[in-house]
Amino acid sequence: MIDYLIVGSGLAGISFAETAFVSNKSFRVIDNFAFSSSKVAAGLYNPVILKRFSQVWMATEQLQYAKPFYETISKRLGVEFDFCLPVYRKLASIEEQNNWFLAADKPKLTPFLSTKLISKKFAAITSEFGYGEVLQTGYINTETLLESYCQFLMENELLCTGEFDYKALVFHEDYVEYQGEHYKHIILADGFGLKQNPYFNDLPLDGTKGELLVIKAPELDLDVVLKSSVFILPLGNHLFKVGATYNWDDKTDSPTEEGKQELIDNLKEIISCDFEIVEHLAGVRPTVNDRRPLVGTHPEHPRLHILNGLGTRGVMLGPWLAKELFEHLEEAKPLDHQIDVKRFYKKRGAH
């Protein structure tokens, strides 16, 4: 019998696969590779919500766990995908400078916000009031991570390519049968594909479409992530990732002219040099209306579980959530009530 069947190979799926792998559990991953919002994600890890100068929920725990988690994968696969880069928040006024200092004094934010204002000059960028520096930041190249990890799974015959057939699940007391194989647990890490998932599609996964641009700007001399109305993330070779939009109505993965124009308009307010659009990407982030992920067990099928709703901060959340779910299943460790899907099922009277 195989311990786990993991449906989905985005950030949630590979995080759980890696957790099972290092714990010597047997598993298989299945994915149709139609699309994954993880692949077009900016991959930023930043413990501070810079709009409101507040800490990301459980940021300290997530970062402390994620950094060595990714390092282990990087060493095993011989691939570099974790890049430490400062995030500079462009400050727009004296009032914003004062708000920055007030935030940096808060005990939860002190480890993450520098108390020194940065007055560094960048070519083609004007910032009269300077920048605030966020510490312990960087980005994961999610495309490199996911491609190299799936390659590792394929080489070890742990990856099945194809459509997952929910109707083919046969539930028994001690295992779940799927296409002739017996599994102790099924982990559904199917992102926005949850909408086609008949077991959990009643959960309030909204989905928020995000669009990004990759631009080439030889005159833009920027070696940090700049955050203003949009973020600008340097990729090397004069390439920069620019994002992101938030659209709560459109649930398609197709880039739009409106999204592109919004990004261009915001970018032109920040930089004064010419740029060329190299790529335009879009994806639907799996977001939840209460801004907390969806983790836990189906109310009627105790061997069927969900790992979803990573939203805009998947690279920080994925490893930590995978650990929480794994420990819940293997050691009966209770899930934090804020992430447990029971918070929705209890409201409906399900047990």
Q: Express each pLDDT in 180-200 by its tens digit.
A: 999 999 999 999 888 889 999
- Could you tell me the end-to-end alpha-carbon distance of the chain, in angstroms, rounded to an integer? 28
Confidence of residue 351 (pLDDT cuts 50, 70, 90): very low
Examine residue 50 and state whether it is found in any structural domain, yes or no: no
* Spatial contact of 187 and 7, defined as CB atoms under 8 Å apart: yes
- Other CB atoms closer than 10 Å to residue 94's CB: what's the count? 10
* Domain shared by 229 and 276, yes or no: yes
Q: Is the pLDDT of residue 298 over 90?
A: yes
- pLDDT at residue 35, rounded to an integer: 63
DSSP state of 249: S
C-alpha distances in angstroms, 321 versus 145, 206, 260, 313, 335? 18, 19, 33, 12, 10
Examine residue 24 and state whether it is found in any structural domain, yes or no: yes
- Other CB atoms closer than 10 Å to residue 65's CB: what's the count? 18
* Domain shared by 105 and 158, yes or no: no
Q: Which pairing describes strands 208-216 and 82-84: parallel, antiparallel, or unpaired? A: unpaired
* Domain shared by 220 and 252, yes or no: yes
Phi/psi of residue 301, nearest 5 degrees = -125, 95
Instruction: Quote the CA–CA distance of 50 and 39 in Å, as a whole number.
Output: 24
Token pair 């199917």 is found at 190
Examine residue 127 and state whether it is found in any structural domain, yes or no: yes
* Domain shared by 191 and 293, yes or no: yes
Q: Is the pLDDT of residue 99 over 80?
A: yes
Domain boundary among 237, 270, 285: 285
Find the domain containing 237 and state its range: 86-136+208-285
- pLDDT at residue 148, rounded to an integer: 97
Examine residue 341 and state whether it is found in any structural domain, yes or no: yes
Mean of the per-residue pLDDT values of the chain? 94
Q: Is the pLDDT of residue 349 over 60?
A: no
Examine residue 277 and state whether it is found in any structural domain, yes or no: yes
Residue 181 tokens read as 């194989």
Domain at 112, CATH number: 3.30.9.10
Domain boundary among 258, 285, 312: 285
Query: What is the average per-residue pLDDT within 168-176?
Result: 96
Q: Specify the number of domains making up the chain.
A: 2
Examine residue 16 and state whether it is found in any structural domain, yes or no: yes
- pLDDT at residue 51, rounded to an integer: 84
Query: What is the average per-residue pLDDT within 95-118?
Result: 95
Examine residue 167 and state whether it is found in any structural domain, yes or no: yes
* Domain shared by 236 and 337, yes or no: no
Domain at 166, CATH number: 3.50.50.60
Q: Is the pLDDT of residue 18 over 60?
A: yes
* Domain shared by 212 and 125, yes or no: yes
Domain boundary among 285, 304, 329: 285
User: Above pLDDT 90, what percent of the chain?
Assistant: 86
Examine residue 219 and state whether it is found in any structural domain, yes or no: yes
3-class secondary structure for 188-234?
Answer: ECCHHHHHHCCCCCCCCECCEEEEEEEEECCCCCCCCEEECCCEEEE
* Domain shared by 213 and 333, yes or no: no
* pTM beyond 0.75, yes or no: yes
* Domain shared by 127 and 221, yes or no: yes
| H/E run at residue 18 | helix 11-22
Instruction: Quote the CA–CA distance of 25 and 216 in Å, as a whole number.
Output: 44
Token pair 């934090």 is found at 336
* Domain shared by 240 and 118, yes or no: yes
Is the Cα torsion angle 169, 327, 208, 253 positive or negative in sign?
A: negative
* Domain shared by 221 and 257, yes or no: yes
Query: What is the average per-residue pLDDT within 26-38?
Result: 83
* Spatial contact of 212 and 242, defined as CB atoms under 8 Å apart: yes
- pLDDT at residue 190, rounded to an integer: 92
- pLDDT at residue 348, rounded to an integer: 56
Q: Is the pLDDT of residue 264 over 80?
A: yes
* Domain shared by 216 and 94, yes or no: yes
Lowest mean pLDDT among 28-37, 89-98, 121-130, 180-189: 28-37
- Other CB atoms closer than 10 Å to residue 345's CB: what's the count? 18
* Domain shared by 9 and 31, yes or no: yes
Confidence of residue 136 (pLDDT cuts 50, 70, 90): very high
Q: Is the pLDDT of residue 312 over 50?
A: yes
Which residue would you say has higher pLDDT here, 52 or 22? 22
User: Above pLDDT 70, what percent of the chain?
Assistant: 97
Residue 176 tokens read as 């779940």
